[in-house]
Structures are given as C-alpha cells and as structure tokens.
Amino acid sequence: MTSKKAQARQRAEAEREQEARQERRRERMLRVGVSAGVLLVVVIVAVVVLGRGGSSEPEGTGAIPEGATSSGDGVAVGDVSAPVTIDYWFDFQCPYCGEFEAENGPVLRELVADGTARVVYHPAAFLGEESYRASSAFACAVEAGRPVEYKTELFAHQPEEGSGGYTREELLTRAEAVGIADASFEACLTEGTYADWGATVLDAMRDQEIEATPAVLIDGEALDDPAGMSADEFRAAVDEAVTAS
C-alpha cells in the first residue's frame, strides 16, 4: 500500500510539473504577444528587404506550392483515410517548436508511417526574415518530394532566433544533406518562387485564432502546451483521439 508520505510526494511532484508547464506556456504567450505587437513592422521590413534592388533576397510571387492542402496553408503527409488528422503549426525560428521537434518530430513520422495519422505541416513565418526564407525553402522541398526530411534537417540545425541564420547557402546545404541536389530546388529558392508563402500560412493561423507556436491540433482539438509534452504523453493524446474517432 502506498504510504501517506509517498502519496504526498507524488502530489508535490505533479504540482511542480503543472507549475512548470504553466510557466512555459506563459513564456510562450509572452513571446507571441511581443511578436504580434511588432508583426506589422516585421512584415514591412521583410517586404522591403525582399523587394530591395540588388538584395540577395528574392521578390516573392505569392505562389502556393503544388502538393499544398486545398486551403493553401499547409502540406499534408500520410493516408487521407487515417483515423486522425494532426495539424502542426510552427515557425522555423521558434525555440519552443525546436523543443517539440526534438521530442515529438520522430513520433509524427512514425504515426504517418504506421497509418495512424495524417499530418498537416503549417510553416508560418512571424519571427522575421529568417522565417520567411525557411518557409520558402520548405515549399521548394515540397516540390522536390522531401518536405518532412527537409523540415527535420532545418530544425536539427535551428539557429538562434534573429541571428541571421537560414541563409541561402545554408538552406542549399541542408537540402543536399537530405538528398535534394537538383537545379530546380536552387532555382526555386533563388527566384523566390514561394517567398511569401510563410505570410499566407501566418494569415491562416491568425484567422483560426491560433495564438502561439507550436500549435498541435488533433482532429481540430488543440493540445495544451505541446512543447512541454514528452513522446509518451503525445502518443497517449493521439491514442485517445483514435479511440474516440
């Protein structure tokens, strides 16, 4: 029989974990609030930089990659008849997204591979020029047929937010690392074919009143603090949704 001391210790541990999750959520909401406050400035700066004559950054065309969802704000991977659909909204610079990727990126891939879930990846861009470049490159990787591999590679080498990372050269290097070496990817990136797609995804994110990244929805139901979820907790949430479907 569990002693009263052991029960008290378990309750204390549970309370500490809950407090830690709430603190992580407050930090994420604060970050997003600040980002939203300067969002207009960020977008204006990004547009100016992208359109500046002689700049290394291309001018976007507003195009949506082939293979995107009908709404144009994501890329779906997996069987359309899978028991559940997982919508995953992220920014390539978001450090909390990096945490979720490290813990649960492999789980998402396994859920697709075993037919449990269809995953829709939504690469929003609200943290600056670097995010726009990464989302644009991700769209090019969609056309190359390796979006998930490329996403995983970018997060594995995620730069510090606002540090000037995800340069053209780095994005090309990461593409080669996952087997994308054809000239069409480089042309897609250099010409800025999808330079504005991150903004399109961001608009959809705001329309759905999603306030923070990472945001993970299972059949439309948002998970609370996905960045703080262990792989086991995430799997349990998916299993629960499958049972309810």
Q: 3-state DSSP call for residue 124?
A: coil
| Neighbour tally for 191: CB within 10 Å | 14
pLDDT tens digit string along 77-132? 999 999 999 999 999 999 999 999 999 999 999 999 999 999 999 999 989 899 99
Output DSSP code: residue 68. Answer: B
- Which pLDDT belongs to residue 41? 39
Q: 3-state DSSP call for residue 88?
A: strand
Stronger pLDDT, 151 or 10, i.e. the higher one: 151
From CA 198, how far away is CA 129, in angstroms rounded? Answer: 10
pLDDT tens digit string along 163-182? 889 999 999 999 999 999 88
Domains in the chain, number = 1
Residue 40 has pLDDT above 80, yes or no: no
| CATH code of the domain containing 110 | 3.40.30.10
From CA 2, how far away is CA 79, in angstroms rounded? Answer: 45
* Domain range enclosing 81: 4-244
Average confidence (pLDDT) over 69-79: 94
Q: 3-state DSSP call for residue 195?
A: coil
- What is the residue-averaged pLDDT of the chain? 83
125: left (phi over 0), alpha (psi -120 to 50) or beta: beta
- Which pLDDT belongs to residue 18? 55
Going from the C-alpha of 7 to that of each of 17, 83, 188, the distances in angstroms are 15, 38, 59
- Which pLDDT belongs to residue 86? 98
Residue 27 has pLDDT above 60, yes or no: no
- Which pLDDT belongs to residue 182? 85
One-letter amino acid at 117 equals A
- Which pLDDT belongs to residue 20? 55
